[in-house]
Amino acid sequence: MNSFQVVAIPTEIAEQVRNTGKSPNYGFPAHREVAAGRAPCRHCLKLIEHGQEELLLFTYDPFRELGEPPLPGPVYIHVKECPRHSGGNAIPEEYQERLLTLEGYGENRAVLKEVRVSDGGEQAAAEQLFREPSIRYVHVRSTEAGCFLFRLERC
């Protein structure tokens, strides 16, 4: 069942950070370094290769265009241009069997349900959330770091 699709951050955001070296809407300087640990790129949703590739760390509000209040937090993208994740209805491989928190949001940015997965239950958990008609979209976060990873939208 195609109940949702994966949504990465917009390309215009990634380009803005790469071009200006600043966080969109906040103006804080983006930090550039070689990836030193697990660093998922929020644009292509691939991992930024540890010890090899450079990342940009910046402040991003995942509720941009969705509602208030904002909830700015740190995210990474590749320094080099990368293709935006193409969507699709499966949790990307890089995030499977990880410690993830899935937050289901309804009208007015209200959190209606939160589910934590640790053992590969992420796809089933996401599909389950979208069976609730009042859930409009889902934010997927790292349970350990708390950082926003990507959004799931109802199809």
Question: Least distance from C-beta 44 to Zn ion, angstroms?
Answer: 3
Question: Least distance from C-beta 46 to Zn ion, angstroms?
Answer: 6
Question: Least distance from C-beta 20 to Zn ion, angstroms?
Answer: 18
Q: What is the 3-state secondary structure (H, E, C) of 35-63?
A: CCCCCEECCCCCECCCCCCEEEEEEECCC
In the numeric block, the tokens 């935006």 are attached to 84
Indicate the residue type of 144: E
- Sites of contact with Zn ion (CB under 5 A): 41, 43-44, 78, 82
Q: What distances in angstroms separate CA 66 from CA 69, 76, 81, 108, 150, one per listed residue?
A: 10, 21, 26, 8, 14
- Which CB, 112 or 147, lies closer to Zn ion? 147
Question: Least distance from C-beta 77 to Zn ion, angstroms?
Answer: 6
- Which CB, 41 or 135, lies closer to Zn ion? 41
- Which CB, 21 or 120, lies closer to Zn ion? 21
